[in-house]
Amino acid sequence: DTGVSQDPRHKITKRGQNVTFRCDPISEHNRLYWYRQTLGQGPEFLTYFQNEAQLEKSRLLSDRFSAERPKGSFSTLEIQRTEQGDSAMYLCASSSGAGANYEQYFGPGTRLTVT
Amino acid sequence: AQKVTQAQTEISVVEKEDVTLDCVYETRDTTYYLFWYKQPPSGELVFLIRRNSFDEQNEISGRYSWNFQKSTSSFNFTITASQVVDSAVYFCALRRETSGSRLTFGEGTQLTVNP
């Protein structure tokens, strides 16, 4: 049973460029979450999918951010026209189970540095 | 609104000491879930425990124990006989009952265990 994987692990980009991150959840998990974590802070929720449907988006997810989960398996998070304030660790998590009695399992994260 | 407060930003102890990490939460919900996650230097968040709001029994798992008190809205975490490998950032988190709901994290406590 492999865990949540994320690619790339590190990304350095210049301001104004577009970047895309990928998350592969645990195989039987139908729920997938994206969080952002800046230095010295706890993770902050960005968005959530159940299967291929994006059910919730945070106000943190500006128009420059878009997330997809086209076949209900892996997900991508794209940031357009990156800004220095986008520099952060982007964490993906997945979970399974019906109802509310479950926990989220996190991947290793993608660290984005915008120069 | 949901809020989690971890007042201790950093704690430093000597190996074999006991240490308690504090967590205070705010929610208007009557049913909710509380979590602790560990984030070692590698960066990946590791799930430690989930506690339901209707279950106030304390829990012990090896050197780890958790004290949940609804009356004071606290969910504290104690490590007994700390070890160097316990050095990490520890996050407390809160989730609503709603299926698929986001995690709200505290700002974390950096624990350093010195040999």
List, as one string, the DSSP characters of B74-86: EEEEEESS--GGG
Candidates B103, B107, B109, B110: best to mutate against A (most CBs of A within 10 A) is: B103
Give the residue-averaged pLDDT of A32-36: 96
The predicted structure's pLDDT at residue A72: 85
Contact B99 A42 (CB under 8 A): no
Choose the closest CB to B102 out of A48, A89, A105: A48
Confidence of residue B101 (pLDDT cuts 50, 70, 90): confident
Give the residue-averaged pLDDT of A84-106: 87
Mean pLDDT of chain A: 93
Cα gap B103→B94, rounded to integer Å:
6
B30-81 pLDDT, tens digit each: 999 999 999 999 889 999 999 999 988 888 899 999 999 999 999 999 999 9
The predicted structure's pLDDT at residue A97: 65
Give the residue-averaged pLDDT of A74-86: 97
Helical segments of A1-115, H only = none
The predicted structure's pLDDT at residue A101: 66
Q: Give A91's strand partners.
A: A35
Confidence of residue A26 (pLDDT cuts 50, 70, 90): very high
**% of chain A residues with pLDDT over 70:** 95
For residues B106 and B3, the answer to whether their CB atoms sit within 8 Å is no
Cα gap B77→B67, rounded to integer Å:
7
Cα gap B115→B112, rounded to integer Å:
10
| Straight-line distance from the first to the last Cα atom of chain B, in angstroms, rounded to the nearest whole number | 41
The predicted structure's pLDDT at residue A100: 61
Cα gap B21→A24, rounded to integer Å:
32
Choose the closest CB to A105 out of B47, B99, B108: B47
Helix (H/G/I), strand (E/B), else coil: B107? coil
The predicted structure's pLDDT at residue B98: 76
